[in-house]
Amino acid sequence: MSLRMRLDSEAMGSGLTSQRVRDRLVERLRASGIVDERVLRAIGTVPRHLFVDEALATRAYEDTALPIGHGQTISQPWVVAKMTEALLESAPSKVLEIGTGSGYQAAVLGALGLEVHTVERIGELLRAARKRFRQLGLNIRSKHDDGHAGWAENAPFDAIMVTAGAAAIVDALVDQLAPGGMLIAPVGSAASQELLRLHKDADGQVVRQTLAPVVFVPLLPGTID
Ligand code: SAH
C-alpha cells in the first residue's frame, strides 16, 4: 500500500505543511541520531499537521510535543522515531499501542506496514484519531478502553508500545506479549521517566534495558467519553 498515493492535495499541505517541510524534519531526526531508514521514510510520509488542530498545523514539523486537547499531547517526533526504531528491532508484525492520542504514532506504525491495534481512554480523542486513519486510508484497529488491560482478545502481540508514563510496567501488558516480543514504555515519576525496553525470550524470561530519559503525560485509570 502506498500511503502517499492516498493523500489528496489538501492532505499533502502547502507552505509550512508541505512535503519539503516534512523532509526537513526527517533530516533533523537523522542529525539527532535516528538511523533506521524505514522509520525516517514513515515520518517523511505521514502528514503530522493533520494530527493537530489547524491553528497548530504550521508548527507540526518542529521537533516538539504539541497540545491535542484534554490536557494531552502528540509526542515529539524524535520520541516517536526513537520508540519506533527500538520496536522494529524485534521485527514485529502485530503491534499494540496504549494511548492513541492524536493517532500519529499509530499512523507511523501503520505506514510501516504493521498490523496496528491501539487503545485510548478518552473517547473524543479516539474519534478524532479514527477520522484521520480513515482520511489517510490506514487500516488501524482501535478500542475505547483503559489500556491497563491491554487488548486480551487480540493478544499475543509481537510488540507493545505504551505512550503514557506509569510508575511501573503494567503486568497485563507483559502477559500479552508473544515470546520473542518487545515492550517499550516510559516508566518513572511524573517529573522524570526513562524509556524502558523489555524483551521476552522464547522461554518467557524478561530482560529490561533503559533507552533514554523522556517526558510523557501520565497513564491514567478508567475511561472518559
Ligand atoms: N501516541 C499519542 C501520544 C498520546 S499522549 C500520539 O501519537 O499522539 C498519551 C495518550 O495516552 C493520551 O491520549 C491519553 O489519554 C492516553 N492514555 C492515558 N492513560 C491511558 C490508559 N490507561 N489507557 C489508554 N490510553 C491512555
Which of 87, 100, 170 best tests ligand 1's pocket when mutated (most atoms within 8 Å of CB)? 100
Rounded CA-CA distance 214/25 in Å is: 19
Q: Which atom of ligand 1 approaches the CA of 102 most closely? A: 8
Rounded CA-CA distance 143/146 in Å is: 9
Asked if the model's pLDDT at residue 14 lies above 70, the reply is: no
For residue 32, is it within any domain? no
Which of 98, 117, 216 best tests ligand 1's pocket when mutated (most atoms within 8 Å of CB)? 98
For residue 105, is it within any domain? yes
Number of structural domains the chain divides into: 1
For residue 52, is it within any domain? no
Question: How far is CA 61 from each of CA 29, 43, 98, 140, rounded to the nearest angstrom?
Answer: 11, 10, 24, 23
Asked if the model's pLDDT at residue 26 lies above 50, the reply is: yes
For residue 125, is it within any domain? yes
Rounded CA-CA distance 95/165 in Å is: 19
DSSP at 101: T
pLDDT tens digit sequence for 103-138: 999 999 999 999 999 999 999 999 999 999 999 999
Element (H, E) at 19: helix 19-31
For 87, the domain range is 65-214
Question: What rounded mean pLDDT belongs to the chain?
Answer: 93
Asked if the model's pLDDT at residue 157 lies above 80, the reply is: yes
Residue 75 is a catalytic residue: yes
Pairing of strands 193-200, 177-188: antiparallel
For residue 104, is it within any domain? yes
pLDDT of residue 3: 54
Asked if the model's pLDDT at residue 16 lies above 80, the reply is: no
Asked if the model's pLDDT at residue 7 lies above 60, the reply is: no
For residue 175, is it within any domain? yes
- Cβ neighbour number for residue 44 with a 10 Å cutoff: 18
Instruction: Give Rg (Cα) of the chain.
Output: 16
Q: State the pLDDT confidence band at 1, using cuts at 50, 70 and 90.
A: very low
For residue 10, is it within any domain? no
Residue bearing the CA closest to ligand 1, atom 19? 219
Per-residue pLDDT averaged across 65-87, rounded? 97
For residue 131, is it within any domain? yes
CATH code assigned at 69: 3.40.50.150
Rounded CA-CA distance 134/155 in Å is: 24
Asked if the model's pLDDT at residue 5 lies above 50, the reply is: no
Query: What crossing angle do the helices spanning 123-135 and 104-111 adopt, rounded to 10°?
Result: 30
Pocket of ligand 1 (CB under 6 A): 72-75, 98-99, 101-102, 104-105, 119-122, 125, 146-148, 163-164, 217, 219-220
